């Protein structure tokens, strides 16, 4: 009889069992805290970034791969870092476009039961155990968000980012859905939500839907010209931050 490996790794089975003893919960909290501190220390001095979300499954010959690669190039030419989840597909393509055009290429990787290797175009990388830690870092250091076609994970990242902007938890950073035919049903459903009264009609305006990288970058550039302001950060020797 064929034995199938579990989709969820053992550590997540433990996590989903509910409350554990106090020592387990304490050490879990410490591990999460260490991941956050490691992320903060790695990304604190990288400078402003634009995050690109999208599927890990598209190969180099796919049109969406080429689209993401062009996004990375344009982000680099704008003078910003390209930040992704660090894996293959759309993430690799965006990192590649930045890398090939002299931009900083950052990957926030995740440990998965099926191994996700960091792509070869990342110049600064960090790996996390938990998705929620990774998402915080991908949002925290970004000035705009480009969402290309992807699966459940990409939709999760899109809706969480949109929720943060909608509720004014973070500043109203630009959110661009790049791929009209793919994302039109998402926009249609947002309109349906507005009709049902579960969101405000103006919430739909928080998202730009387009097929054009030019339009996406113009939209982001207008926001940056109006709102971009970064205070210089000094490295502190007593925090073991290298000059």
pTM: 0.86
List phi, psi (to 5°) of 154.
Answer: -65, -40
232 within a domain of the structure (yes/no): no
Element (H, E) at 152: helix 152-166
Closest of 90, 92, 53, 65 to residue 177, by C-alpha:
53
Task: Indicate whether 119 belongs to any domain.
Answer: yes
Say what the pLDDT of residue 7 is: 43
Asked if residue 164 belongs to a domain, the reply is yes
Containing structural domain, residue 186: 46-218
Q: What is the mean pLDDT of residues 220-233?
A: 77
Q: In the chain, how many domains are there?
A: 1
User: Has residue 147 been placed in a domain?
Assistant: yes
Distance CA 225, CA 217 (A): 12
What's the pLDDT score for residue 24? 84
Report the SS3 class of residue 82. strand
What is residue 45's predicted lDDT score, i.e. its pLDDT? Answer: 87
Kindly report the CATH number assigned to the domain that includes residue 145: 3.40.50.450
Average pLDDT of the chain, as a whole number: 88
- What would the pLDDT profile of 84-138 be if each residue is shown by its tens digit? 999 999 999 999 999 999 999 999 998 876 656 889 999 999 999 888 999 999 9
pLDDT of residue 58: 96
Per residue in 6-61, pLDDT tens? 444 445 555 566 677 888 889 989 999 999 999 999 998 898 899 999 999 999 99
In a domain, 106, yes or no: yes
- Identify whether 242 is part of a domain: no
124 inside domain: yes
- The residues near 116 (Cβ < 8 Å, ≥ 6 apart) are 56, 86, 87, 88, 109, 110
Q: Is the residue at 11 inside a domain?
A: no
- What percentage of the chain carries pLDDT values higher than 70? 85
């Amino acid at each position: 009889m064929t034995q199938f490996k579990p989709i969820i790794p053992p550590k997540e089975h433990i996590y989903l069992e509910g409350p554990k003893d106090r020592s387990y919960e304490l050490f879990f909290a410490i591990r999460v805290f260490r991941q956050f501190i490691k992320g903060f220390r790695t990304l604190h001095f990288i400078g402003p970034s634009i995050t690109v979300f999208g599927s890990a499954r598209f190969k180099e010959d796919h049109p969406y791969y080429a689209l993401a690669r062009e996004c990375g190039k344009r982000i680099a030419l704008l003078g910003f870092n390209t930040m992704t989840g660090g894996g293959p597909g759309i993430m690799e393509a965006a990192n590649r476009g930045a890398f090939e055009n002299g931009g900083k290429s950052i990957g926030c990787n995740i440990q998965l039961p099926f191994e996700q290797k960091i792509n070869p175009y990342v110049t600064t990388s960090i790996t996390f155990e938990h998705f929620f830690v990774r998402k915080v870092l991908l949002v925290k250091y970004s000035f705009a968000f480009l969402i290309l076609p992807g699966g459940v994970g990409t939709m999760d990242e899109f809706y969480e980012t949109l929720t943060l902007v909608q509720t004014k938890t973070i500043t109203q950073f630009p959110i661009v859905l790049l791929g009209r035919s793919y994302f039109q049903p998402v926009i249609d459903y947002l309109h349906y939500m507005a009709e049902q009264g579960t969101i405000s009609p103006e919430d739909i305006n928080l998202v730009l839907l387009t097929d054009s990288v030019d339009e996406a970058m113009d939209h982001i550039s207008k926001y940056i010209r109006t709102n971009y302001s970064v205070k210089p950060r000094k490295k502190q020797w007593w925090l073991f931050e290298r000059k």
